[in-house]
Chain A
Amino acid sequence: MAEVTLRKIVKNYGALEVVHGIDLDIAHNEFVVLVGPSGCGKSTTLRMIAGLEEVSGGEIAIGGRVVNTLPPRARNISMVFQNYALYPHMTVRENLGFSLKIAGRPPAEIEKATDEAAAILGLADYMDRTPGELSGGQRQRVAMGRAIVRHPDVFLFDEPLSNLDAKLRTQMRVEIKKLHQKVKTTIVYVTHDQVEAMTLADRIVIMKDGHIVQTGTPLEVFERPANTFVATFIGSPPMNLVDGVVAGGEVRFAGDASLPVPPAFRGRVQEGQRVTYGFRADNLMPAGHAMTGIGETADIDLTIALAEPLGAETILLSELAGVEIQGKMYNPRAVAAGERLSCLLALDHAHLFDAETGASLRT
């Protein structure tokens, strides 16, 4: 059993504190993704779990054993680095078998383990090459192979796909997910890419400025963002956010536009309260080009500033109360700039946030 527990983890460099008391429980065999913009402390947190970074405060436990002061080699973890970090002077075979060799395992066992890893990752044909003779994707696979030969308690991934091109990234993402299904192990994965986080994670941990902002399954954080930061960080295009004031069951925006308070928030807001109204482009649709079964809707007339056809749908850019917003046209037709369209907003998927703190008003 290898659950990972973080208790009030703090990291500081001198007077500068970069991680402020994080609590996190990662279950056995769970795939957890730490996601956030650069500088949010996600990599630092991962490196503390790995033992490459000293823990300034709090407690890290792997499989129930506190590992704060243990060196990396005593933690039974493997790590895949952003720059692959392969040993340049060793062949693929030697790279894969290095940790076992260091552990003093017999050659027969090392060979069996490396062959097994090579088979899983399709590296059999490259075993005698050096990293310099491999492409980016192949190097990435070697790095992963090196991590799996040891059968560690925990896999740590530090932005493993960020050096690959878009196509290869998608492909490797699928492979990592398959790998997790094949080699059931606890995985902690760090990325700044919300698509990677959504597609890979059992549970997403969203971080910002050294704090955990929200933890939940991909669908939870997508459908119930805890605040405006999560709302704009998760999902693409980012959620539309418009500031307004609650007035008689409606939220009034600058100008004379208004939208009803979404059903989930009725009774949770007071008259005159300043709020931020949030809805995703997916839920703002021109009438006649909407999805069906979307529940309660509100009507809103919008002047289209720009249309971006994507084939299956068209992204529409418009403006509400001086804020640029985006909508989506399903089964699209050609739309001219300046055209005025009557649109539907699916209220079940709309959100209200506190205008000051940005926190969701759902609870």
Chain B
Amino acid sequence: MTRLRRYARDHAVPLALLSPAVLVILLVVLLPLLFSFYTSFSNYRLIRPDSLWDWVGFRNYLRVLGDGDFWSAFGRTVLFLTVALNLEMLLGLGLALMVNRITWGQRTMRTIMMFPMMFSPILVGFQFKYLFNDTIGLVNNALQSLGLASEPIPFLVDRWLAFAAIAFAEIWMSTSIFAILILAGLFAMPKDPIEAARVDGCSNWQVFRHITLPFLMPFIYIAMTIRSLDVARAYDIVDVMTGGGPAGRTELLWTLIARTAYDDARMGRANAMAYFSILLSIFFTWFFFRKLMAARRHLGAF
């Protein structure tokens, strides 16, 4: 105790200067976190505030574990993550490689490439909802006028088509994040090893496979980390395009959680789900970060 007091006396000024930051973090981050963690062990319903004190132990968590809807939303989210991240990575890589080859007007191309990122996800959602609409949608009208489809395709109603439509919107919006980060990698890449590889007998494909790609992996993993957090919390596009429906067929974790929390007003249950979902995000972050570290260690000098 005396030691603590002496420490406080010796470091009075730094401690005083740090205290506002500490206080703000406590109030803004830690307190809500603790509160939400507590509510996940209660039967808290928004419409009955006194239920906040209704301690139910692990009941919420056990219910969630046995909830088929939750697990299908969980599985769908993982699938959505896998599909969106991989396609975005491949498309972004292709885009970056092509833009890197442009010698004239590259800056303009780079700016144009970023356009999709400049729109609010909600607006992107509305736009694609309109495009894929089965009666007035552009895609359906075009397909029918061109004689490629005889009747409207229910893009936003069929389970898999709706999933694909949402993934399409998400990929359209965010491929440029991969493209930009990979392009940055390509700009930073030293030219010499590529030339050395060509002299060493590599074809263009082998140069890409053995030299370029390993160098780009850290950049790809950074993009993966950012995007996995982004996609794992996907809500807006889904909510706008399908609202998680029809009949919960496109429900992702956060649309389910939001519905549970605000439509059903079961805050305690929703918080328990949220903690499971956060585990998923943490897992993806950890996974890609580890990959990133390994790739960077591999590159040694860089």
Q: Which residues of A contact B (CB under 8 A)?
A: 50-52, 71-73, 77-79, 81-89, 98-99, 102-103, 130-133, 146, 150, 156
Contacts and interface: CB of A to CB of B under 8 A. Distances in A.
Given A81-B192, A85-B192, A88-B193, A50 B211 contact: no
Looking at chain B's contact residues, the main secondary structure is helix
Given A73-B203, A98-B210, A102-B206, A89 B197 contact: no
Contact of B198 (A71, A86, A133, A156): A71
The 5 closest A-B pairs by CB, nearest first: A132-B300, A85-B192, A132-B301, A99-B200, A130-B300
Interface of B: 190, 192-193, 195-203, 206, 210-211, 214-215, 298-302
A83 B198 contact: no
A73 B192 contact: no
Nearest to A76: B201
17 contacts: A50-B195, A72-B195, A72-B198, A73-B203, A79-B196, A84-B192, A87-B193, A87-B197, A88-B301, A89-B215, A89-B298, A98-B197, A102-B206, A131-B300, A131-B301, A132-B300, A132-B301
Contacts of A133: 300
A81 B301 contact: no
Contact of A73 (B202, B211, B215, B299): B202
Contacts of B203: 71, 73
Contacts of B206: 102
Nearest to B192: A85
Nearest to A74: B201
A88 to B, nearest CB: 5
Nearest to A101: B210
B214 A102 contact: no
A78 B202 CA distance: 12
Nearest to A78: B199
Q: Choose among A50, A81, A156 the residue with the greatest number of B CB atoms under 10 Å from its CB.
A: A81
B210 to A, nearest CB: 7
Contact of A89 (B195, B202, B299): B299
B198 A52 contact: yes
Contacts of A150: 200-201
B196 A81 contact: yes
Contact of A88 (B195, B200, B201, B215): B215
Contacts of B196: 79, 81, 85-87, 146
B193 A146 contact: no
Contact of A85 (B193, B201, B300): B193
Contacts of A132: 299-302
Contacts of A146: 196, 200
A73 B301 contact: no
Contacts of A85: 190, 192-193, 195-196
A88 B295 CA distance: 11
A29 B192 CA distance: 26
Q: Choose among B198, B215, B301 the residue with the greatest number of A CB atoms under 10 Å from its CB.
A: B301
Contacts of A86: 193, 196
A86 B196 CA distance: 8
Given A89-B215, A102-B206, A73 B300 contact: no
Nearest to B301: A132
A52 B200 CA distance: 12
A50 B199 contact: yes
Given A81-B196, A83-B190, 18 more contacts: A71-B198, A73-B200, A73-B201, A73-B203, A79-B199, A81-B195, A85-B195, A86-B193, A87-B196, A88-B301, A89-B215, A89-B299, A99-B200, A99-B201, A102-B201, A102-B210, A130-B298, A150-B200
A130 B297 CA distance: 10
A224 to B, nearest CB: 36
B10 to A, nearest CB: 42
B199 A88 contact: no
A83 B191 CA distance: 10
A23 to B, nearest CB: 24
A102 B202 contact: yes
Contacts of A88: 193, 215, 299-302
Contacts of B192: 81-85
Given A83-B192, A88-B215, A73 B302 contact: no
Contacts of A98: 197, 200, 210
B198 A89 contact: no
A79 to B, nearest CB: 5
Contacts of A103: 201
A150 B65 CA distance: 61
Q: Choose among A87, A98, A102 the residue with the greatest number of B CB atoms under 10 Å from its CB.
A: A87
B188 to A, nearest CB: 12
B240 to A, nearest CB: 43
A86 B302 CA distance: 12
Nearest to B203: A73
